[in-house]
Amino acid sequence: MQVWQVLLIILLVLVVALAVLYFMGKRLQKKQAAQQEQIEASKQQMTLLIIDKKRMPVKDSGLPQAVIDQVPKLMRRSKMPIVKVKAGPRVMTMVADDKIFDMIPVKKEVKATVSGIYITDIRAAHGKLETPPPKKKGLRAKLFAWRDKAQADLNTAQGTGKKSKKK
């Protein structure tokens, strides 16, 4: 086989793979939109006392077996944001949205928007919610910030040098 034939085969395989990914992505987007509509249709406001919150695998979470069976097999080992709450007289295990999991205060009462066992939004029942402290910058981010600051200082120094020559 010649080089151009090998490249043609590789190109054909890449085009087929991209087409498959495109159509699978469109199907998954439609599925997600339908799920979001169901969540919006069944949401309700509840007052919850947050007992505990953790990221843990679904099989260890204490959720009902029917819920665990509905989770795809690939997702059963991944860690999910699990919140143990007291809603009225009942103690329940719920799943929180990843966006709000860090904002959920432990051992405090909150007003939450709940859809089944899924917590989608949270507000403070009394006072304000404490925002979590900002995450620490890693070494790479610090180095990039230092580089950008040095570049900005260099640009301003060169800019003032040119202005002084014009005067």
pLDDT digits (tens, 9 = 90+) for 28-73: 999 999 988 998 888 999 999 999 999 999 888 888 899 889 888 8
Q: Which CATH class is domain 43-124?
A: mainly beta
| H or E element that contains 139 | helix 139-166
Report whether 39 contacts 120 (CB < 8 A): yes
pLDDT reported for residue 158: 84
Phi then psi dihedrals of residue 107, to 5 deg: 60, 40
Q: What is the residue extent of each domain of the chain?
A: 10-41, 43-124
Whole-structure pTM value: 0.64
Q: What percent of the chain has pLDDT over 70?
A: 93
